Structures are given as structure tokens and as C-alpha cells.
Amino acid sequence: MLIIDCPYCGKRDEAEFHYGGEAHIVRPENPSELSDEAWAEYLFMRSNTKGRFLERWVHSEGCRRWFNMARNTANNEVEAVYLMGETPPKEVSK
Amino acid sequence: MTRQANRLGTDLVAGARIDRSKSIWFTFNGRRYEGHEGDTLASALVANDVQLVARSFKYHRPRGFFGAGAEDPCVMVQVGVGAETLPNLRATQVELYDGLVADSVNAWPSVNHDVGIVNDLMSRLLPAGFYYKTFMWPASWWTTYEHVIRNAAGMGVAPKQPDPDTYDHMHIHCDVLIVGGGPSGLAAALAAGRTGARVIIVDEQSEMGGSILASRLLVDDKPGAEWLASALAELGAMEEVRVMPRTTAFGHYDHNHMGLLERRTDHLGPGHDIARQRMWKVRAGQVIHAGGAIERSLVFAGNDRPGVMLASAAATYVNRWAARPGQKTVIFTNNDSAYGVAADLADAGISVQAIVDLRVEPGAAALEEASARNIEVLTASCVVETRGKRAVEGVTVMKLNDAGDGVVVGERRFDCGLVAVSGGWSPAVHLHCHAGGKVDYDEIQGCFVPGKTLEAARSVGAANGQLDLADCLTAGWQAGTNAAADTGFRKPGKVPKGPTATAVEVSPPRHVWIIPAKPGEENKVKRFVDLQNDVTDADVRLAAREGYRSVEHLKRYTTLGMGTDQGKTSNIPGLGILAAELEKSLPDVGTTTFRPPYTAITMGAIAGRYTGQMLEPVRRSPMHHWHENHGAAFEDVGQWKRPWYYPQDGEDMHAAVARECLAARNAIGILDATTLGKIDIQGPDASEFLNRIYTNAWSKLAVGRCRYGLMLSEDGMVMDDGVTSCISDNRYLMTTTSGNAASVMGWLEEWLQTEWPDLKVWCNSISEYWATLTISGPFARDLLAELCSDIDVSNDGLPFMSWREGTVAGAPARVFRISFTGEVSFEINVPASHGLGLWQALMTAGEKYGITPYGTEAMHVLRAEKGYIIVGQETDGTMTPYDLDMDWIVSKKKPDFIGKRSLGRADFLRDDRKQLVGLFTEDPLEVLPEGAQIVDDPNAPIPMPMIGHVTSSYLSANLGRSIALAVVKGGINRKGETVHLPLENGRTVRAEITGMVFYDPQGERLNG
């Protein structure tokens, strides 16, 4: 079980959190203008990264706030946490 | 029979860890035996000369004691009777208590006469992958095969009664967690403990000490037991140190989360009123793996006869329990460690016939020990066969050639009842690997040792490939010091010295993975790699030739290393044989993945206190006790208990529901709707937010008005529905389905926080703050008017889909004129504390109108009569609003809402999608089972093309016939057509596709 450093509450057990999938997938501004392929790309396609992965988590059994996390999927190291809407901190931006 | 015929006297074994003055009586396979306090079931059986204990899994061959602890692959027993019985325990790990009852498993009718042995006679026909090859065809027979196979491969029997014991979950943090209470672990604990760090040291055995308990080693020039006692006394006096025997570290998880299982009363027997076991969840700053090493066997002809035993196990039975595993023995080894065993056995009066060593040059110190006792050493030799009926009676030894793949002519025969085997040592890397640790191959020792770890953890001692006691003590001390320092604990001043022992020079082992058989007998003999699953070297080689070259595939195909022991003694020999067959090096073949748990843990410990009423929180409405007092039957809806129906005067469910449904349409029905999810949504952008969340338009909803809304997920599928009301400017009250209240709340928050943080909207879950009472029916308005003077409840004053604030029976209330029955209906919301009072007031005042409480079943029938959907019943995550024939609720004008773009995908416009329709059965009293499949042609060959299924089905008292909702391919354009429903019992029912609104299609009753 991971220890996750909630940016609002501090370090907590993973059991208090829910996973929210890949981060920085922005909902298209005008979905109606997208082709079926482009919409499907937004809707379904996600990267399956080995190594550093930017992902969303929500502290569902704590402050209930969403945030971003950089986690190494190969060793589960939590490399950084940062707020929703922020860009990844320099040390984890590729 | 002599009591404890094989118990060695104090003249032969002085320091055994048993209390000879305390006798314990126990029963094994129906016979009573005597043992001593401190015995395991295994040691007591050895002392009583019981050799045949189990049968192997596949061939049902006789099995005896092979190990002395967690590594034993064979000796599974069922312990205890009745509700407290535990199946598949290792006899080597079961502590003896007075009155213990144990039986062999996987043997019928008894372990001495097992009919399954017929498999052994047929073993030529049961090669590796036999089940896969034979039972694959025809596929439809698999269920038949499976039944027979499962019975034949019987393990123990699970208890049929509820478990009477309690189990606890414990949570704890510590600085240093040490797994293993042997010399390395104890040295580490002393070093770390003296710094003041919070230390936990665990050991799976009944007492700390590890190899010290099983040997005659000296520590700090004292007998091991003496040093052990002083070390434990020192640790016991340390306030921050917790010493936990009978505790298995079963898993090492991410970020040093460790799982421990503490057995508190298993060694005492039944009838104790403390928790039987505790599951500890530890978060450790640093972990030290000091779990020791496991001895391996050698793969030689006849190596599975009872009487063949790991050398370390033989020494353990003698030294720790003064139990003699045989009177005459031959030691068969590839390394020096078994010479110490030979010395221990000889000193305990066991006649050591010979030490058979694969090597040309054993270590000098080892040879000295043998010659001091006049034990013959046969170098470059091997055991080529064992003899005996049920158990070993003798062995034949031949010289091994230089390559190790054949023998040299000339044999020696020995009589012996015990063959003590050592094939070298494998560090217990299991826990290290659980958390993603890698292993490196040690070419010299022929084993995997811990490599890189992802965790704040280190392995020491035998668990790290260090087999010498002196090395273990030094490494343990160092690891304890360093681990404590890494968590911030350092003892000021000079670092004191740790415990020491005299180092012993050893010669390296010789690895011969398959020991040759007698010339000409290579194809006749059986050499076992895995004693539990009956995997022989021939099975491994056959699998490799058949293409199972990956070690993971080999494992599944041959079952090597599967089962309850997970190959603790068999993995490395199996890998060695596979590597040789593939002409690869052993590390290139790799090892299978180690997964928790290290040894089996009980379901009770996993469940802890979360059983029965404690399994999940129960939510009850404020009116719950009224429902109970009025005989309601309850239904679980999520965590809620909802009244299902209220049977009266011996009514069955059918009669009660019919009465309730009639009352709601002819008098007044009253429903406890408190469980509806309620979300208070506020903020200047609230209406824009609703526009994006729902499919229909919300901008123009006036204060005091309500609107039904449908929520889609982004893939266009219906997710939830409910009525949302405008409370004031910039404030809305959203209702959700009872089961989805929390997930809809989470959904709203996700969009607000992650995608639209610019929207000024705040959501608050208020489901529990309000009690919701729904009255429905032609007299509902009259009743409400009686109890409410400050709201005009007339059709004009409170029109359909509007709400007003006021007072009902003295309680502050929000009254919503909405309907899930199609009748005049009011949902009265009052603060939860007023719920019961209002319910009683309504019941009293409504008596003259025939007010009748109705439950969820009647609610379902009433809404189905009107064709109102229930999300999760008519929908299953593949239904769009169009599929539900609800085009009307999808805004054409709004530029966007969640799911809108998906509705335009080509697949959603197919006209053969499953669409929601009504069904009338030909026989009006036929009630279709929900889930029944619908076909066009009941005579079509199987597999019959299925075109849909029934989603809701009831007998409608108001209509005097059955009604059903169903999804049918292209159903919306097939109204009037006949379809067929083949039922489970072989009957086929005919039904007509209809519209969904069965009752009051014009909706005239809504306004009364």
C-alpha cells in the first residue's frame, strides 16, 4: 500500500484515496467539431507507461480534493504531487 | 506399543526445548499418542515412530516428514473438529496441546490404505500436463471432469459452521521491523533496540532463536541457548521493542507496508475468549529480512520414500525435540553443512552408516567432524536408489563420474531407515521479492540471493546467503545499527561490539541437478522434484521438450512449485533441470514470481471483525423503527435498509404488494423515500453547471420549479437520473437514485475540481439531513391540505413539477409536487428529526382515506405501470437515452453537455440497437422472469440468436395482468410484433411488443 502525500493533508495511506487515471487529458473545447476518431482518442485512449507517469488522485476519504501525482509505475515511487491545474514541477516534467 | 519409542533420553540430548515432565495426549488418525509440552505435532509423531502421515497430491504416494517447519511440502493435516477445524496445516507447524485431534488429508479411506494409490500404478499414463491434455475435449464436459478431479485432489475439509472465534486487525508504526528471530535477527534487534528505535521482531515459530534452537552452536563462547536467553531478556526489558513469536510476516507490500499474522490461541486449543489470531498491518521505517534459508533436496531415484528427510530437519528433530527420526542413517549431501548434522545424529546415538558426498573434496573441518566419530565418508558418490516398502529400509550408493551425469560400476548397499539429504541452501527471498526486489544468482551456492530492493529494506544472514554463524551475527548487528541510524536513531559514543561466534571454513557445494540412477534403470525410476505435487525430473524435461520453456509456463503446466508449500524446497532443483534441458544457465531461466502470502493465512484473520453485522455500516431512515413495528420486510439498497413490503394478517409478498399498489391508486399510498440522494448545489454558475451535467436545458428553471434530468457519462451511456429543483437564485437541490448518491456527488466534484475549476459552484451532500415522505393517490392532496395551512396545495397553487416551503403537521417542510407513481403525489421533505413525527401524523390523519404504507416492491410495480425507468434496472451501462426512447430529454439546442458528442457516434444511430419497450405476455397471468432472453425464432438451432432480455416484470394488480419492460433489438419500431421467450424450465412464452406506458397513457391522473 502506497503512502501518498496529499498536498492538502499530508502523508496518508493509499486506502484513503481513489485513483483517477492519467493526468492532463484536457476535455476538447468544442467536442462537436471533432471527428469520431479524434473524440474516441480523447475518450478511450490512455498511455500505458512504464516509468514516470502523471496521474490524478482524489483524497476521497479525507479532504475529497483532487490533485496530480507523478509516480514511477515500475517501482511505485511517488516522485511529486502538485495541484490540479498546475503543470508538473520541473524535476518531473519530461 | 511403547510410549514415545523414539524419544531420546537426556543422556543423549541434553538441551531439547521440551518439558519432559509434562505429558500431553493427542489423537492422530484416531489413535492416541503422548507428547510433551514444546512438541509440534510432527516432533511428537516422530517420537512415537509414526512415519506415514500423508499422501501426495496426484499419485497418492505415501509421504512422511521431509522438513521440520514451513518448508515441509507433504505433511498436511486437518486439525480440530467442528466449527474450529482448520484444514491443510503443516504438522511441522502445529504446536501440540492437550486433546489435540488431527487427521491426514488427501487420503481415503485412510492414510495407510488409500485407494487413490491407483493413480500411482497408472503414473505412466499421467505425465506432465495430463489434465490439460486429456480433459480439454470436448470442452462442454469440463464441468463433469472438474468435479471428479476436484474430489480426487481433495485437500482438507473447510468447516461448515460459522467460525466461533474472533480475529483482530491491528495497525502499528515502527522504525525497524525485523523478520526472523534467528541469530541475525536477534543481533539486529539488539543493535537497533539499544539506540532507542521502535523495533518489532517477529518469528513464525513458537519461540525466538531460529537455528539456535535446532543446533549445538556456541555464541559468545556460550551454549546458544544461554546466549538466546540473555538476548531475549535484554530485548524484553527495552520499552520500545516488541518481540513477537508465533507471528508470520506473510507479505511485504509497497512503501514498507508489512502484513503479519500473529497466532494467539492456536497452540492452546479451542475455548479461549481472546482473539484467536491478529492480522498486524505495520508501516515500518526500515525492514530487515532475516528469515533464514531453506535447505534443498537432491533429485535422486526413490527420494520420496518416507524416511528421506532434509538433513537440517533431522538435526532439528534430534536437537530441539529429542525425537529420533531413525535408528540408522545415511547422510547424502553436496555441501559441508550436513557433516554437522551427521555429528549431531551420531552424538545422539543414531548410527550414521556413511556420509555420501557428491564432491571430490569436502571441507577439512567437515571431514574432521566425521573422522572424530569414525563415520565413513564416500566422496564423489551418490545414492542411486532407495529400498523399502512403505518407507526407506536401505540405499544403494555408487561412484559418480566426473561430469556428474553417470555412475561408475561398483555399488555399496546400506541398511538405514533415515536418509538425511542436503542439496544446499536457498535464502528465503520471498518477502524481499514481494515488494519488487530482484534476485541475483549465486553460482557457487547455487541459489538466488537478494539483489536490488525498491524498499527501505535489507536482507541479512542466511536470508542473504551467509550461512556461517559468525557472519550472520556480524551482519545482523551491522544491519540493526544501520537501519536504526537510517530512521534517525544513533547511540552516542563508541559503537559497542555485537555477539560473535567462531568462523568455520567450508568448501563449496557441487551442483548435480539430476542424480543418476543405476545403470539401465534411468527410465524406470522416479525422481521427485516437487514432493507435494508429484512432479518428477522427467515431467520437467518433458514439459521443456513440449515447448514450456518459460519458467512461469512450466510451473502452471507441471504444477511444479504450486500448492500449499509453493515450492519452498523444489524451486531451485526444478529450475536447474529446466536450465539443463534448455541448455541455458540457471539465472537465464529465471525464477517464478514470489507473491504473498509466504504461508497460508486464515480467512478469519483476513476478515477480522468485519463479519456479520460489522461487515458494512447499516443506514436506517428516521422512520425505521415504525416500519419494523409494523411488520415491514426489508430490502438492502446500498447500505440502506428500505421497507420492501408490509405484510398484514398472514399475507404473502404477492398479496401485500397487490394491496399496496391498489391503495396508492385508489386511496393514498405513503412511501419512505428518505434514501434518495440529495445534493445542495450553490453558486453563481450553478445553472451553467447543471446544463453541462444533464442532457436537458436548465437555464430557464424558475425558483419554485422542478425538472427531471438524465445524466450521461462521457461515453453517452445513461448514468443516473433524478429531479432537481431551483431553491433560490443560484441554488438547486439535486436528487439522485438511492444507490448512486455518493458516486454522483463524486462525479460532480470531479468535474468541478479537475475540468471546470473556473465555475463558481459548490456541492454539499445533504441526504441524511432530510427525511422524505411521499404520499401518492387520489386523496393525497386532501390529506396534505389538512396538515398544511401555509401552502396552497391546489393544482394552481402547487402545480405538477413545483415545490413550496411551508409547515406540515408543525414541521418545517419543503413540499415537492413530483410523482413516481403517475398519481397526484407530494414528496414532503422535513428535517430528519421530524421524520417520524410527520409519518405518524400522516398515518393518523390519513386513516379515514385508507392511507397505506407501501414498500420498494410496490414502488417498482407502480412506476413500471407508468413506464418510468429505474437506472441500473432498465439500464446497464450500454443504454443511451435514445435506446430508452427518451429522445425528448436530450437537448438539441445546447452546444455541449457531458456525453453529447458520443451520442453522435455512428454506432449509437444503428437501428438494431437494443431498445426499451413493453411486453404483454399472451397469457395475462404469466409473469416473465427478469433477465429472460428474447428470441425471434424459438425453433432456431442452438446457439439461438438472442435479440434482447426482460429488464422488469411484475403482476399488476391495477391492470389485472402481468406487465414487463424489456430491451429488444430495434424494438421501438416493432410494436405489435410477437416475440418468444424460452424459459429455463423448457417452456417457451409468447409475448407482444407494446409501448412502455401500461397505465393511464394520457397522464390524466397526475393532476387528480
Question: Do B167-293+427-486 and B677-768 show the same overall fold?
Answer: no
Domain span at A44: 3-25+39-92
pLDDT tens digits for range B548-572: 888 889 888 888 888 777 788 888 8
**Chain A residues within 8 A of B902 when measuring between CB atoms:** 39, 43
Q: HSE-up of B695 (CA within 13 Å, CB side)?
A: 30
Distance CA B934, CA B946 (A): 6
pLDDT at B254: 96
Kindly state the average pLDDT of the residues B498-510.
Answer: 94
- Confidence band (pLDDT; 50, 70, 90) for B266? very high
Domain ranges of chain B: 19-125, 167-293+427-486, 297-423, 512-609, 677-768, 909-1008
Distance CA B90, CA B65 (A): 10
Q: Which of B678, B677, B658 is nearest to B669 (CA)?
A: B658
Describe the strand order of the beta sheet including B811-816 as a list of residue ranges.
B803-808, B811-816, B825-831, B770-776, B668-672, B851-853
- Confidence band (pLDDT; 50, 70, 90) for B139? low
Interchain contact, B253 vs A30, CB within 8 Å: no
Distance CA B357, CA B515 (A): 12
pLDDT at B125: 62
Is it the case that residue B73 has pLDDT exceeding 60? yes
Describe the strand order of the beta sheet including B407-415 as a list of residue ranges.
B381-387, B394-400, B407-415
Evaluate if pTM is beyond 0.80: yes
Distance CA B139, CA B86 (A): 35
Distance CA B172, CA B12 (A): 45
- The strand pairing partners of B812, in sequence order, are B807
Kindly state the average pLDDT of the residues A56-77.
Answer: 96
Residue corresponding to grid cell 413506464: B867
Q: Which of B713, B705, B708 is nearest to B697 (CA)?
A: B708
pLDDT at B491: 80
pLDDT at B126: 64
pLDDT at B128: 67
**Chain A residues within 8 A of B753 when measuring between CB atoms:** 65-66, 84
- Confidence band (pLDDT; 50, 70, 90) for B500? very high
Number of domains observed in the structure of chain A: 1
Is it the case that residue B145 has pLDDT exceeding 60? no
pLDDT tens digits for range B862-880: 999 999 999 999 999 999 9
To probe the interface with A, which of B743, B752, B754 has the most A CB atoms within 10 Å?
A: B754
- Confidence band (pLDDT; 50, 70, 90) for B271? confident
Put simply, the chain B residues between 694 and 723 with a CB less than 8 A from any chain A CB are 714-715
- Confidence band (pLDDT; 50, 70, 90) for B285? very high
Kindly state the average pLDDT of the residues B360-383.
Answer: 97
Is it the case that residue B805 has pLDDT exceeding 90? yes
Kindly state the average pLDDT of the residues B141-164.
Answer: 67
Q: Which of A13, A81, A74, A9 is nearest to B257 (CA)?
A: A13
Interchain contact, B255 vs A2, CB within 8 Å: yes
Q: HSE-up of B40 (CA within 13 Å, CB side)?
A: 26
The sign of the torsion formed by the CA atoms of B54, B58, B60, B65 equals: negative
pLDDT at B730: 95
- Name the H helices within B362-436: 364-372, 430-434
Nearest to B906 among A36, A56, A66 (CB): A36
- Confidence band (pLDDT; 50, 70, 90) for B393? very high
Nearest CA in chain A to B907: A36
pLDDT tens digits for range A14-28: 999 999 999 999 999
Q: What are phi and psi of B637, to 5 degrees?
A: -125, 100
CATH 3.55.40.10 describes domain B909-1008: no
pLDDT at B105: 84
Answer yes or no: are the C-beta atoms of B369 and B331 closer than 8 Å: no
Distance CA B753, CA B732 (A): 19
CA dihedral B956, B960, B965, B966 (to 10 degrees): 130
CATH architecture, domain B297-423: 3-Layer(bba) Sandwich (3.50)
Domain-embedded: residue A33: no
Q: Which CATH class is domain B19-125?
A: alpha beta
Extract the C-alpha cell encoding B876. Answer: 446497464
pLDDT at B841: 98
- Confidence band (pLDDT; 50, 70, 90) for B245? very high
Put simply, the chain A residues between 17 and 76 with a CB less than 8 A from any chain B CB are 20, 27, 30-32, 34, 36, 39-40, 43, 56, 58, 60, 64-66, 75-76
Kindly state the average pLDDT of the residues B39-59.
Answer: 91
Nearest to B746 among A30, A36, A60 (CB): A60
pLDDT tens digits for range B209-226: 999 999 999 999 999 999
Q: Tell me the pLDDT of chain B averaged across its residues.
A: 93
pLDDT at B320: 97
Kindly state the average pLDDT of the residues B755-773.
Answer: 97
pLDDT tens digits for range B521-550: 998 999 999 988 889 999 999 999 999 888
Which DSSP symbol is given to B753? I
Distance CA B998, CA B918 (A): 8
Put simply, the chain B residues between 858 and 917 with a CB less than 8 A from any chain A CB are 895-896, 900-902, 904-906
Q: Which of B806, B804, B802 is nearest to B818 (CA)?
A: B802
pLDDT at B130: 59
Is pLDDT larger for residue B245 or for residue B569? B245
Kindly state the average pLDDT of the residues A67-88.
Answer: 96
Is it the case that residue B116 has pLDDT exceeding 70? no
Interchain contact, A32 vs B755, CB within 8 Å: no
To probe the interface with B, which of A4, A50, A64 has the most B CB atoms within 10 Å?
A: A64
Least confident of B177-181, B737-741, B797-801: B737-741
pLDDT tens digits for range B900-916: 999 999 899 899 999 99
Q: Which residues contact B719 (CB under 8 A, 6 or more apart)?
A: B711, B712, B713, B740, B744, B747, B871
Residue B851, min C-alpha distance to chain A (Å):
42
Interchain contact, A43 vs B906, CB within 8 Å: no
Which DSSP symbol is given to B813? E
Instruction: CATH number of the domain at A67, please.
Output: 3.30.2270.10
Q: Tell me the pLDDT of chain A averaged across its residues.
A: 95
- Confidence band (pLDDT; 50, 70, 90) for B117? low
Q: Which residues contact B741 (CB under 8 A, 6 or more apart)?
A: B638, B676, B677, B678, B679, B765, B767
Domain-embedded: residue A77: yes
Q: What are phi and psi of B383, to 5 degrees?
A: -80, 120
Distance CA B1, CA B47 (A): 12
Q: Which fold has domain B677-768?
A: Alpha-Beta Plaits (3.30.70)
Write the DSSP assignment of B315-354 as a string of letters.
HHHHHHH-B-S-SEEEEEESSTHHHHHHHHHHHTT-EEEE
Interchain contact, A76 vs B436, CB within 8 Å: yes
Q: Which of B605, B515, B295, B280 is nearest to B426 (CA)?
A: B295
B673: helix, strand or coil? coil
Percent residues over pLDDT 70 in chain B: 95
B858 alpha carbon, distance to own chain's centre: 39
pLDDT at B132: 58
Domain-embedded: residue A60: yes
Q: Which CATH class is domain B167-293+427-486?
A: alpha beta
